[in-house]
Amino acid sequence: MRRNKGTEAGNYGIQAGGLVTGSPVQSGNTNSTVIQSTNVGAEAGALANFHQTLDKIEKQLNADRNLVIDFEQCIGFLSVAREQQFDDSEGRSTAKVMFKKLLDKCGGAPGVVSLVTSALTLLGAAQAGR
């Protein structure tokens, strides 16, 4: 958000931007304009390089192995996630479950948490775009 000095006399307010899907947008401000965009989800082919993200997670897991609760179990969760078809909703759902389990077991490894959170975000964007 940012402060926006309007062109009409006395119209000072907050200008907010963002994506909206499937619902009307309302503003309680007077003399204001709201622009609605369509959420198109992940770009076409964004999941094509998702395996690189999985490789980064594995590399970070190995680097932080002494910080995770159960390293072998984390590698197992990652392996199950890696086996999924990410262009399929069932595969994405299974991968999300495995990533959430991975987060539970690697709470002490911030680098892993960051990468897994990014992977979950990308899968969520892909879900929204389909």
pLDDT at residue 10 in the model: 53
pLDDT value of residue 83: 94
How many whole angstroms from its chain centre is CA 39?
Answer: 14
Q: What is the pLDDT of residue 86?
A: 85
Question: Are the CB atoms for 123 and 88 separated by under 8 Å?
Answer: no
- In angstroms, the CA 38 to CA 61 distance is 37
The residues, any chain, with a CB within 8 Å of residue 10's CB and separated by 6 or more, are: none
Average pLDDT per block of 10 residues along the chain, 130 residues long: 51 46 47 42 61 93 90 94 90 93 85 92 78
Query: For 15-26, how does the pLDDT look when each residue is reduced to its tens digit (9 = 90+)?
Result: 444 444 444 444
The predicted structure's pLDDT at residue 102: 92
